[in-house]
Chain A
Amino acid sequence: MLEFFLAVALYLCFLMLFSLYRGIFGPTVLDRLVGANAIGSKTVVLLLLIGVIYERVGMFIDIALAYAMLNFVAVLAASRYFHKRKGLYEESPE
């Protein structure tokens, strides 16, 4: 069962690369925000898997809960910031 959890964690890390591509090369700022949000939501599961693998779930569950809240607050604050400030522009598509 432990090998299964390890494989799932590695596969989640592989999936984060897809969202990281959107986070780096996204045409607008909000695309990058979407990529960062997707990475954060995968990280919550990854933290729980780390807790199960190291048999310290009681400690890692609180970290995962705090990380989910932090991710939510970060996305909310960044999107509020970008519609107050008109600094959002569409970069030239290539």
Chain B
Amino acid sequence: MLLDSLVVIIMVMGLVFFTGGAVGIIRMPDFYSRLHPAGKLDTLGIMAMTLGLALYNLHHFSWEALLISLKMILIIFFVFLSSPTATHSIVDAGIRAGLKPWTKQDRRH
């Protein structure tokens, strides 16, 4: 029962992060500022929700369940490496293509 409530708390926290990321992608004015919620909040949301599922998976302990939970931790590790790399690569493409950052003067959105 304690484990279940812990899983619910962690997963609701992850959903809050995902909601912030989705709203930020819609509401931010410019391409570079849109990458801020897309890069950070999605990484944190994946971390929280996968951690919650890995805890729930250890509900009935067995070695197979432990292996599956370790694979979920591996997903967290991989996303922590790959998501900042992908975000940096997109920013690099934008700068090389000559996109101008949004300033306060042009209020087009």
- Taking a contact as CB atoms under 8 Å apart, the answer to whether B93 and A65 are in contact is no
A-B contact count (CB 8 A): 131
* Binary contact readout B1-44 vs A (1 if CB under 8 angstroms, 0 otherwise): 00010011001001100110111011000010011001000110
The residues of A that contact B99 with a CB separation of less than 8 Å are 28, 30, 88, 90
Within 8 Å by CB of B75, from A28, A49, A64, lies A64
Within 8 Å by CB of B68, from A57, A72, A76, A80, lies A57
Main secondary structure of the interface of B (DSSP, over half): helix
In the bound complex, how far is the Cα of B75 from the Cα of A68, in angstroms? 8
Interface core residue of B8, B25, B64, B83 (most chain A CB under 10 Å)? B25
In the bound complex, how far is the Cα of B91 from the Cα of A21, in angstroms? 20
Residues of chain B at interface, number, CB under 8 A: 48
In the assembled complex, the CB of A90 is this many whole angstroms from the nearest CB of chain B, namely 7
- Taking a contact as CB atoms under 8 Å apart, the answer to whether B26 and A38 are in contact is no
Give the residue name and chain of the B residue nearest to A60 (CB).
B68
The residues of B that contact A24 with a CB separation of less than 8 Å are none
In the bound complex, how far is the Cα of B2 from the Cα of A80, in angstroms? 47
* Binary contact readout B78-94 vs A (1 if CB under 8 angstroms, 0 otherwise): 11001101100110111
The residues of B that contact A58 with a CB separation of less than 8 Å are 64, 68
Within 8 Å by CB of A52, from B19, B56, B79, B89, lies B56
Question: Which residues of A (23-50) have their CB < 8 Å from a CB of B?
Answer: 27-28, 30-31, 33-35, 37-38, 41-42, 44-45, 48-49
In the bound complex, how far is the Cα of B109 from the Cα of A62, in angstroms? 42
**Which residues does A use to contact B, with CB under 8 Å?**
1, 4, 8, 11-12, 15, 18-19, 21-22, 27-28, 30-31, 33-35, 37-38, 41-42, 44-45, 48-49, 52, 57-58, 61-62, 64-65, 68-69, 72, 75-76, 79-80, 82-83, 86, 88, 90, 93
